Amino acid sequence: MTATPLDVSTARTEDGSTRLTICGEIDMTNSARLAEAISSASAPVLLDFAAVEYLDSAGLAVLFAQADRIELVANRMLLPVLTVSGLTELISVREAPAG
Contact positions vs another protein (CB under 8 A): 1-5, 25, 27-29, 54, 56-58, 60-61, 77, 80-81, 84-85
**Min. distance of Cβ 82 from another protein in angstroms?**
11
Nearer to another protein, 46 or 47 (CB): 47
Order of strands, edge to edge, in the sheet holding 6-12?
6-12, 18-26, 45-55, 70-74, 93-95
Q: Supply the Cα-derived Rg of the chain in whole angstroms.
A: 12
Nearer to another protein, 23 or 58 (CB): 58
Nearer to another protein, 45 or 55 (CB): 55
**Min. distance of Cβ 60 from another protein in angstroms?**
6
**Min. distance of Cβ 28 from another protein in angstroms?**
5
Identity of the residue numbered 86: G
Residue 59: burial class (beta carbons within 10 Å; 0-12, 13-18, 19+): buried
**Do the beta carbons of residue 23 and residue 48 sit within 8 Å?**
no
